[in-house]
Amino acid sequence: DTEVTQTPKHLVMGMTNKKSLKCEQHMGHRAMYWYKQKAKKPPELMFVYSYEKLSINESVPSRFSPECPNSSLLNLHLHALQPEDSALYLCASSLPGPGLIGELFFGEGSRLTVL
């Protein structure tokens, strides 16, 4: 199994809604990532979990709340979002832990639209 699975693929929500994006991998990877990508822009790093601990938080607004319940799962909880938060949210994982770099395996992304 070399897949990173993201659900839902598409999400439309109002500014007062609470929703969650989910990501799952069963490759034994110990680093998991959330990236945000807007049209014609590079993926922007939001959060990184390494061994289920939050290791990088790129000054993301608190309306985005990550959670890593175990080594296979990564969630992104969304609350009181703004229309400018509409984007493709990409989850990725990589094999090594701290101090090592490896290729990222990406999911297909969750396309979020905030009305």
Q: Enumerate binding residues for other proteins (CB under 8 A).
A: 4, 6, 31, 33, 35, 40-45, 48, 50, 55-56, 90, 92, 94, 96-101, 103-109
State the minimum distance, in angstroms, from the CB of residue 80 to other proteins.
27
Tell me the two tokens of residue 111. Answer: 């396309």
Query: Left, alpha or beta for 29 (phi > 0: left; psi -120 to 50: alpha)?
Result: beta
At 61, list the tokens: 């607004």
Least separation in angstroms between CB 92 and other proteins? 8
Q: How many whole angstroms separate alpha carbon 111 and alpha carbon 18? A: 16
- Nearer CB in complex with other proteins: 14/96: 96
Nearer to other proteins (CB atom), residue 55 or residue 82: 55
DSSP secondary structure string for all residues of 66-86 = EEEEETTEEEEEEES--GGG-
CB of 81 to other proteins, least distance (A): 22
Question: Quick one: 4 or 112, whose CB is closer to other proteins?
Answer: 4
Strand partners, 114: 13
Cβ at position 77, least distance to other proteins in Å? 21
Nearer to other proteins, 16 or 42 (CB): 42
**Number of neighbours of residue 36 by Cβ within 10 angstroms:** 21
